[in-house]
Structure 1
Amino acid sequence: MKLGEGVEAAIHCAAMLAGVEGEATLSGAAMAEAFGLSPSYLLKHLNMLTAARVLESVPGPAGGYRLARPAERITLLDIVLAVEGKEPAFRCGEIRQRGPAKLDASAYVKPCGINVAMLKAERAYRAALAEAKLSDIVSDFMSGADPRSVAASCAFVERHQRLQKSSSTKQA
């Protein structure tokens, strides 16, 4: 199974957004710069994550993206399904029922063993992704990555995050 590059970009962006302060955001352009990606390419994936409610898009001059919920409530499965869709990676076309050795439909009442095995693998794969929380990935990076990489990532987020002005003003 091969996932698109967009999945990698989406996971990295979500992990980066886990490091913004409070209601702050990061622009899509900043994240594209951080990972050496085309802004238009990344925007497509950020929009998918927003539609799936993994991210929240904030409009305006200080707008950008932030996590829609805490990182401990976002799984890798949430991100993969947002980018790749909910369909299984393997789709049985029942090719066993074609060609010159094709039999009457009554010979194919038992499910295709290949399809059964592939769907079992898909369930295991999805279960593993559902257990992998974004917060754990970020925590593992912060504690186990080369300190230079951690420092560079944190400095990038600090430099590029857009702090939001408070919208609650009290009137007397």
Structure 2
Amino acid sequence: MSEGVEWALHSCVNLAWSGPDRAVSAARLAAWHALPPAYLNKQLQALARAGILTSTPGPRGGFRLARPLAAISLMDVVAAVEGPDEAFRCAEIRQQGPGGGAPDGAGAGAGAGVGDAAADAADCAIAHAMIRAELAWRRALAAQNLDEIRQQAERQAPRAPERLRAWLAAQ
């Protein structure tokens, strides 16, 4: 997973702390954590395309949350930044090299031949394990929302929202 996911998650919490009526530019959000503004802007634009943020152009423009943190899951942010594709893609290397083809006994009597990649992939123990792990990971991310993250962050650093608002107001 790219560091852009971490940056996007922090930016969402920071936008919540900045206040509902305040648009914050990508440059200001980036400066708060000493991040490269252009790269953070790409992550924020991805969040806007996904409907997580809204973007207002112009010198007084910036980004705002499009919906409450409680309505944004960690998976929403990951999918917006990383895309919806699976993390693991079975390349069927079992079919390559001198050991290529169906393993001994695989597909026997089921009509699955050596060239039947779909049937072979369905029988791949590694692909099955990786698919199960990714599904569990995605479900765990979907089950946690950004408001829960905000609350935990505030327990760990109770003055963080106040510090951010003061810093934004001073600029």
Q: TM-score range by the shorter chain?
A: 0.7 to 0.9
Q: Which residue in the other structure is 2:166 paired with?
A: 155
1:106 counterpart SS class = coil
Q: Structure 2: state its 5+ residue gaps.
A: 103-111
Query: Partner of 2:134 in structure 1?
Result: 122
Q: Which has the bigger relative contact order, CA under 8 A and spacing at least 6? A: 1
Shift of 1:68: 0.9
Asked whether 1:52 is paired with 2:50, we answer: yes
Cα pair 1:19 1:157 within 8 Å, conserved: no
Q: In the alignment, is the contact (CA less than 8 A) between 1:54 and 1:74 conserved in 2? A: yes
Cα deviation per residue 1:53-85 (whole Å; 9 max; x = unaligned)? 111001222210001111110011000000111
> Aligned pair count?
157
Amino acid at match of 2:135: R
Alpha-carbon shift at residue 13 of structure 1 (Å)? 0.3
- Contact map agreement 1:75 1:134 (CA 8 A) in 2: yes
Give runs of aligned pairs for residues 41-80 of structure 1, distance below 5 A. Answer: 41-80=39-78
Which whole-Å CA distance do the structure 1 matches of 2:130 and 2:46 have between them? Answer: 26
Q: Secondary structure at the match of 2:64?
A: strand
Q: Does the aligned pair in 1 maintain the 2:47–2:80 contact within 8 Å?
A: yes
Larger mean CA deviation between 36-45 and 149-158 belongs to 149-158
Map of 1:169 onto structure 2: none
**Percent identity of paired positions between Structure 1 and Structure 2:** 42
Match of 2:143 among 131, 154, 157: 131
Amino acid at match of 1:145: Q
Bigger radius of gyration, 1 or 2?
2
RMSD: 1.9
**Inter-CA distance 69–148: structure 2 relative to 1 (3 Å threshold):** closer
1:1-172 alignment, distance < 5 Å: 3-103=1-101, 106-107=113-114, 109-110=119-120, 111=122, 112-142=124-154, 144-159=155-170
**Do the aligned residues in 1 keep the contact of 2:17 with 2:164 (CA within 8 Å)?**
no
Opposite residue 21 of structure 1, the aligned amino acid is: G
Extract unaligned runs of 5+ from structure 1.
Answer: 161-172
| Partner in structure 1 of residue 107 of structure 2 | none
